[in-house]
Amino acid sequence: MEIRKVGVVGLGTMGAGIAQVSVQSGFDTVGHEISEELGERGRATIERYLSRGVEKGRLVAAERDAALGRLTLTTELADLADCDLVIEAVLEELELKRQTFAELDRLTRPDAVLATNTSALSVAEIADATERPERVVGMHFFNPAPVLPLVEVVRAPRSSDEAVDAAYAWAERAGKQPVRCNDTPGFIVNRILIPLLNDCVRVLDEAGVEPEAMDKAMTNGAGWPLGPCALIDLIGIDVHVHASEALHGKLGEARMAPPERLTQMQREGRLGRKTGHGFYSY
């Protein structure tokens, strides 16, 4: 199956990044949001990052304009009916995703591939909300989606080979480095990274280490390109806590549970870069 037209449901941080990847790769893309205001905000984010690329010489103005010209905005899911691939990037709430997929299943063509960008929820539980779970896969992009090359292409128990192969092939055509994996808690990266980051946060208090020292230790001693505290700030404390809770709920391992320091930061609204303050001030 060749994918020519792409839909993206949700144009927040991840959705806007995924839509940018799609239009920059030459695909006509329909971006869906629940209001025109949120849709325009997502489009403005894409335009801002494309313009930054022009300023830095990574693309020319004509390429930016052509990419933006491939983006269409809508508030109606029915406008995604003729898409070959629809990638969902709504909030990380299982029932919301299930409702979205049930409606997409009803509106899109029987051969369309429906993909969820979830980072921690079960693809199978999302797919079970549809009449055709064989065409549902996971496509987990990493933030920022236009920059980080990895896409985890996730096979749920009832995903068809055709759907998985089509999603994988599209990710390659979009310039990404996809990897296949089964639908397990945390997939590949988060299954390893989340408990490791939680360990780093616990060491801050147990060993009396400052965030700057922790990041210095891990970048210089372990070769990490970005320290754990700076990475959690980039991810968002709330996003990390949610993923930790989801993994802990599925696996029950103590290392998966979010440290108290992070849940306290979340309660205080110190969510990292998005709020201007987390472990660091921005």
| Domain boundaries of the chain, sorted by first residue | 5-182, 190-274
pLDDT of residue 206: 95
pLDDT of residue 17: 97
pLDDT of residue 120: 85
pLDDT at 38 over 90: yes
pLDDT > 70: percent of the chain? 100
Query: Which residue carries 């945390």 as its tokens?
Result: 186
Instruction: Tell me the pTM.
Output: 0.92
| Token pair listed for 94 | 């299982």
> Confidence band (pLDDT; 50, 70, 90) for 56?
very high
Query: Which residue carries 């979830």 as its tokens?
Result: 118
Average pLDDT, the chain: 96
| Token pair listed for 193 | 């990274």
Of 174, 166, 151, nearest to 112 by C-alpha is: 166
CATH number for the domain formed by residue range(s) 5-182: 3.40.50.720
pLDDT at 68 over 90: yes
pLDDT of residue 1: 80
Fold topology of 190-274 = N-(1-d-carboxylethyl)-l-norvaline Dehydrogenase; domain 2 (1.10.1040)
Which tens digit of pLDDT belongs to each residue from 232-273? 999 999 999 999 999 999 999 999 999 999 999 999 999 999
pLDDT of residue 192: 96
Catalytic residues: 119, 140, 152, 190
pLDDT of residue 143: 87
